C-alpha cells in the first residue's frame, strides 16, 4: 500500500446543513490527502431516502467551497471513478454480493419480517439466528427463481476474533461471535450502507478513511468484507466526538443547546469561513509547535495523522470568537470594508456616512460581524440617553463641569474651517492644553454628546469626523440643552 497514491473521500449524506463534526471530517480527509500529495474525492451518499433533505446537496457544495475544501473528483466535476452519487451506482452492488454467494461467503435469507420481529422479541442471541445460513445451494437458487423475497447476508466467522489498527485509537479487537450475519443487499435489491460504502471505497481506490468514532464498532464488519473479497483494507482514522460545555460545568455531545452547530449558522452569525476552518482544524488535531493561526496552505504543510488525538474535543465558542477577531484584524482595510459592508448598510442605510471611515474605527474592535449594526447604529440615529453619562470619574467630568466643557468644545469646533481628523484633533488637544485640563476631560463630554453612548468604537475625534461638522454641532447643542 505504501507506494499507492493517497486517496481520501468525504462521503456525506445529504440530510441538512453541515454540522461542524462533518465539516471537520471533510477537512481532515482533505488534509490527509493534500499533506501527502493525494486526491480528495467527494461522494454523495443519498441512498437513505427517508433522511434525504431537498437542497442538502447544494449546501454541501456551497459549504465546501466557502470553507476552501476543494475536491479533485465529485458529482459536479466528474472523474474516472464515477458516478459519485450513490443512488447512481445502485446497480453496481448486487454483482459483488452475488460473487460472495458463489464463493460461499454470503447467503440468501428468506426469513419473513414477522419471523425476524419474533426473534427480536425473544431476543435470541441478540439478533438474527442464522436460520437460512445453511440452506443448500440448489434449494436457495430454486426459491429465488420462484420469486420468494430475500435479503443477502454475509457469513460471519463463528469463532475467533477480528483485530484492526486505527490510526488514532490503536489496535481494536472484537470477538467474531458478537458480529451479526449482516445484511448486504435488501429485499428491494439495493445495498445496505455498510455494504455500499465498502464497495464504493474499494472501487474508488480509497486508501484512507476518515470518519467519526461512532463508526468504530462497524469497522470489523467492513474489514471482514474486504477480506472476503481479498482487497486491501484502507487506513482507518476515526475522529473523537466534539463536545459542548454545559451550563452546569460538565460537557456533552455538541448540540444546538450549546450554540450554533452548523457552518451555515456560524457564518450567518458573523464568523468568517477562514476562522471557522482554522478553529475546527485544531479540534482534535495538534500541530507540532504552538502555532494557532493557519492558512489552508499552512495546514496542508503542517498536518500529519499522528497529531490527531483520541480524546474528545471541546467546542469553545470563546476561542472561536478569538480566532474570528484575529482574522478580522489581519484583513486589509479594503477587505474588511467589503466584508463589513452588508452589516454597515443594514445599520447606516442611506445616511450618507463614509463607510470606509466607519469600518476603520471598527476593525480592531469587532470580534463577530453581527455585532456591527449595534456598534454603529448611533451614527445614523442618536439614541436617547441619560445625562448621567456625562459623569466619568477617570476623566474627571461631573454634571457640574460638563456643560462648561462641552460649551468650550462646541465653540472651538464651530470655529474650525476644515473638518478632518487632524484639525479636530489639534483643536481639542490645544483646548485641553490651554485650559490646563487632561485630554480626557475635554473628550469625554464631547464624545457622549455626539454618540449618546458610554462605549463606542472610536473616540470623540473619529466620531466627530465621521458625523461631519453640522451633525456633530447639532448633537452637541442638544447635549448642552440636556445639561442645562
- C-alpha cell of 75? 458529482
Long-range contacts of 384-389 (CB under 8 A, 24+ apart): 384/452, 385/448, 385/452, 385/453, 387/482, 387/483, 389/448, 389/452, 389/453, 389/454
- Does position 234 interact with ligand GLU (CB under 6 A)? The reply is no
State the cell numbers at 167: 490510526
**CB of residue 100 vs ligand GLU: minimum separation in angstroms?**
20
Nearer to ligand GLU, 197 or 339 (CB): 197
Q: How far apart are CA 127 and CA 139, in angstroms?
A: 24
Closest separation in Å from C-beta 269 to ligand GLU: 24
Stretch that binds ligand GLU, among 5-13, 49-57, 58-66, 134-142 (CB under 6 A): 5-13
CB of 12 or CB of 220, closer to ligand GLU:
12
Residue that is written with C-alpha cell 453581527 in the block: 370
Q: How many CA atoms lie within 13 A of 457 on its CB side?
A: 21
Of 7-15, 56-64, 95-103, 291-299, the window that binds ligand GLU (rule: CB under 6 A) is: 7-15
Segment interacting with ligand GLU, rule: CB under 6 A, options 6-14, 68-76, 403-411, 459-467: 6-14
Q: Which of residues 10-39 bind ligand GLU (CB under 6 A)?
A: 11-13
Q: The sheet that has 183-185: what strands, in order across it?
A: 106-109, 151-154, 183-185
> Which residue's CB is nearer to ligand GLU, number 73 or number 462?
73
Burial 3-38 (b: 16+ CB within 10 A, else e): eeebbbbbbbbbbebbbbbbbbbbbbbbbbbbbbeb
Shortest distance (Å) from residue 184 CB to ligand GLU = 16
Q: Is 397 in the site for ligand GLU (CB under 6 A)?
A: no
Residue 204 Cβ, how far from ligand GLU at the closest point, in Å?
Answer: 12
Residue 262 lies near ligand GLU (rule: CB under 6 A): no
We find the least distance from the C-beta atom of residue 467 to ligand GLU, in angstroms, to be 52
Annotated catalytic residue, options 5, 65, 137, 256 = 256
Choose between 234 and 459: whose C-beta lies nearer to ligand GLU: 234
Contact assessment for residue 261 and residue 282, using Cβ atoms and an 8 Å cutoff = no
Cα–Cα distances (Å) from 247 to 71, 238, 240, 255, 283, in that order, read 39, 28, 22, 13, 21
Is 204 a binder of ligand GLU (CB under 6 A)? no
CA–CA separation, 402 and 396 (whole Å)? 9
Is 13 or 472 the residue whose CB approaches ligand GLU more closely?
A: 13
Is the CB of 167 or the CB of 391 nearer to ligand GLU?
167
Specify the residue, 12 or 457, whose C-beta has the smaller distance to ligand GLU.
Answer: 12
Check binding of 162 to ligand GLU (CB under 6 A): no
256 a catalytic residue = yes
CA distance 318 to 154: 48
Which stretch in 9-17, 264-272, 322-330, 336-344 sits in contact with ligand GLU by CB under 6 A? 9-17
211 binds ligand GLU, rule: CB under 6 A: yes
* Smallest distance, ligand GLU to C-beta of residue 13, A: 4
- Tell me if 197 contacts ligand GLU by CB under 6 A: yes
Which residue's CB is nearer to ligand GLU, number 216 or number 412? 216
State the nearest-atom distance from the C-beta of 308 to ligand GLU, in Å: 15
CB of 96 to ligand GLU, least distance (A): 17
Smallest distance, Å, CB 234 to ligand GLU?
A: 11
Instruction: Give me the phi and psi of 161, to 5 degrees please.
Output: -140, 160
Q: Is 467 in the site for ligand GLU (CB under 6 A)?
A: no
Looking at beta carbons only, is 51 or 421 nearer to ligand GLU?
51
**Can residue 182 be called a binding residue for ligand GLU (CB under 6 A)?**
no
Q: Does 46 bind ligand GLU (CB under 6 A)?
A: no
Q: Does 239 bind ligand GLU (CB under 6 A)?
A: no
Active site residues: 256
List interacting residues with ligand GLU (CB under 6 A): 11-13, 45, 197, 211
Amino acid at each position: 500500500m505504501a507506494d499507492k497514491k493517497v486517496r481520501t473521500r468525504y462521503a456525506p449524506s445529504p440530510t441538512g446543513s453541515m454540522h461542524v463534526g462533518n465539516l471537520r471530517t471533510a477537512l481532515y480527509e482533505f488534509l490527509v490527502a493534500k499533506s501527502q500529495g493525494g486526491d480528495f474525492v467527494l461522494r454523495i451518499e443519498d441512498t437513505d431516502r427517508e433522511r434525504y433533505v431537498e437542497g442538502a446537496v447544494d449546501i454541501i457544495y456551497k459549504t465546501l467551497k466557502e470553507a476552501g475544501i476543494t475536491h479533485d473528483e465529485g458529482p459536479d466535476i466528474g472523474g474516472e471513478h464515477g458516478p459519485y452519487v450513490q443512488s447512481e451506482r445502485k446497480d453496481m452492488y448486487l454483482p459483488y454480493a452475488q460473487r460472495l454467494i458463489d464463493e460461499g461467503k454470503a447467503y440468501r435469507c428468506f426469513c419473513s419480517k414477522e419471523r425476524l420481529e419474533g426473534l427480536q422479541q425473544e431476543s435470541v442471541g441478540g439478533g438474527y439466528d442464522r436460520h437460512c445460513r445453511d440452506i443448500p445451494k440448489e434449494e436457495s437458487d430454486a426459491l429465488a427463481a420462484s420469486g420468494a423475497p430475500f435479503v443477502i447476508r454475509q457469513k460471519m466467522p463463528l469463532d475467533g476474533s477480528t483485530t484492526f489498527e486505527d490510526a488514532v485509537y490503536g489496535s481494536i479487537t472484537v470477538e467474531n461471535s458478537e458480529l451479526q450475519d449482516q445484511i448486504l443487499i435488501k429485499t428491494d435489491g439495493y445495498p445496505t450502507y455498510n455494504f455500499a460504502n465498502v464497495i464504493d471505497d474499494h472501487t474508488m481506490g480509497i486508501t484512507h478513511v476518515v470518519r467519526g468514532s461512532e463508526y468504530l464498532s462497524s469497522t470489523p464488519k467492513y474489514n471482514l468484507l474486504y477480506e472476503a473479497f481479498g482487497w486491501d483494507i484502507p487506513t482507518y482514522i476515526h475522529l473523537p466526538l466534539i463536545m459542548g460545555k454545559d451550563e452546569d460545568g460538565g460537557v456533552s455531545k455538541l448540540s444546538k443547546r450549546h450554540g450554533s452547530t452548523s457552518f451555515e449558522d456560524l457564518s450567518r452569525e458573523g464568523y468568517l469561513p477562514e476562522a471557522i476552518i482554522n478553529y475546527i482544524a485544531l479540534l482534535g488535531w495538534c500541530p507540532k509547535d504552538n502555532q494557532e493561526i493557519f492558512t489552508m496552505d499552512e495546514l496542508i504543510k503542517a498536518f500529519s495523522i499522528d497529531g490527531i488525538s483520541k480524546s474528545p474535543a471541546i467546542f469553545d465558542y470563546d476561542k472561536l470568537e478569538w480566532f474570528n477577531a484575529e482574522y478580522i484584524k489581519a484583513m486589509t482595510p479594503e477587505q474588511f470594508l467589503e466584508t463589513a459592508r452588508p452589516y454597515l448598510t443594514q445599520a447606516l442605510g442611506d445616511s450618507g456616512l463614509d463607510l470606509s471611515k466607519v469600518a476603520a474605527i471598527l476593525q480592531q474592535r469587532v470580534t463577530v460581524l453581527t455585532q456591527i449594526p449595534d456598534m454603529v447604529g448611533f451614527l445614523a440615529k442618536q439614541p436617547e440617553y441619560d445625562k448621567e453619562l456625562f459623569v466619568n470619574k477617570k476623566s474627571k467630568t461631573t454634571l457640574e463641569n460638563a456643560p462648561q466643557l462641552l460649551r468650550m468644545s462646541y465653540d472651538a469646533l464651530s470655529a474650525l474651517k476644515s473638518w478632518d481628523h487632524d484639525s479636530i484633533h489639534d483643536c481639542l488637544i490645544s483646548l485641553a492644553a490651554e485650559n490646563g485640563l487632561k485630554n480626557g476631560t475635554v473628550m469625554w463630554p464631547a464624545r457622549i454628546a455626539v454618540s449618546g453612548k458610554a462605549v463606542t468604537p472610536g473616540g470623540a475625534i473619529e466620531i466627530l469626523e465621521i458625523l461631519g461638522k453640522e451633525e456633530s454641532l447639532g448633537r452637541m447643542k442638544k447635549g448642552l440643552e440636556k445639561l442645562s
